[in-house]
Amino acid sequence: TATPTEPEAVVKKYLEELKSSPADEDCIICMEKLSSPSGYSDTCESSTIRPEAVGRLTSCQHSFHMLCMLAMYSNGNKDGSLQCPSCKTIYGEKTGTQPKGRMEVSTLPQSLPGHKDCGTIQIVYHISRGIQGPEHPNPGMPYTARGFPRYCYLPDNEKGRKVLELLKVAWRRRLIFTVGTSNTTGESNTVVWNEIHHKTEMDSNLSGHGYPDPNYLDNVLAELAAQGVTEDCLGQ
């Protein structure tokens, strides 16, 4: 089934309009009462969604002004997905703003500290400098790409291979990097990691992004899930 991307269609797909609005609840998008009109009534116009309309997200059941949700969606990258601002549940397929590039995978015979019983998967990300698109913070301006190619490592065991497959999904959905300001260098308009941690050191741990780290695979699986990338996405 085709995912709608027309803003009003997306909002109506995932929010069920309530007959009567909950009296005592606030909308956490605009902070107004759900029983009064959307705080975005002046800035966000719609011919089919009334300022008083309140909708409930179909799965997590959190409620918001439908117009507030429309404003939130229109302010994002408009990929047909919605994320609940309250509990972060993702509706549809979240995509990011990662610039174009290449993801390369190979295996190495050496093992990683803490994973002596197997070899290593090496991922190499290639991204070059370019011009920001409409999805980026400063469209039309250049972005830099520092420290590429970036090398990352996973243990070549069952869980590591599963993480690899999910990272491939995240790469296709443009979720691994974004364009923004680097926490490490302070540089803006540059390509930076985006919420999914990678191990960039193989046999040292100078940056804190190396091995051993017994929790790493579980942590990165949780970070992938927070972006909507789970085992359900495999084999699709």
Say how many C-beta atoms besides its own lie within 10 A of residue 143's C-beta. Answer: 23
214 preceded by a cis bond (ω within 30 of 0): no
Least distance in angstroms from the C-beta of 102 to Zn ion: 36
118 to each of 105, 156, 161, 214, how far by Cα in Å? 16, 6, 12, 15
- Which pair of structure tokens corresponds to residue 27? 């909308």
Residue 72 contacts Zn ion per CB under 5 A: no
Which of 30, 82, 163, 166 contacts Zn ion by CB under 5 A? 30
37 preceded by a cis bond (ω within 30 of 0): no
Least distance in angstroms from the C-beta of 188 to ligand NAD: 11
The residue sitting closest to ligand NAD, measured at its beta carbon, is: 147
Which of 45, 58, 75, 87 contacts Zn ion by CB under 5 A? 87
Which of 65, 173, 174, 199 contacts Zn ion by CB under 5 A? 65
Contact 142, 130 (CB under 8 A): yes
Which of 35, 36, 200, 205 contacts ligand NAD by CB under 6 A? 200
Query: Closest CB to Zn ion among 7 and 101?
Result: 7
Task: Count the residues of the shown chain that bind Zn ion, applying the rule CB under 5 A.
Answer: 12
- Which pair of structure tokens corresponds to residue 207? 């940056």
Contact 128, 146 (CB under 8 A): no
Least distance in angstroms from the C-beta of 207 to ligand NAD: 4
Which of 57, 192, 202, 220 contacts ligand NAD by CB under 6 A? 192
Three-state DSSP at 4 gives: coil
Residues interacting with ligand NAD, by CB under 6 A? 146-147, 182-185, 192-193, 197-198, 200, 207, 209
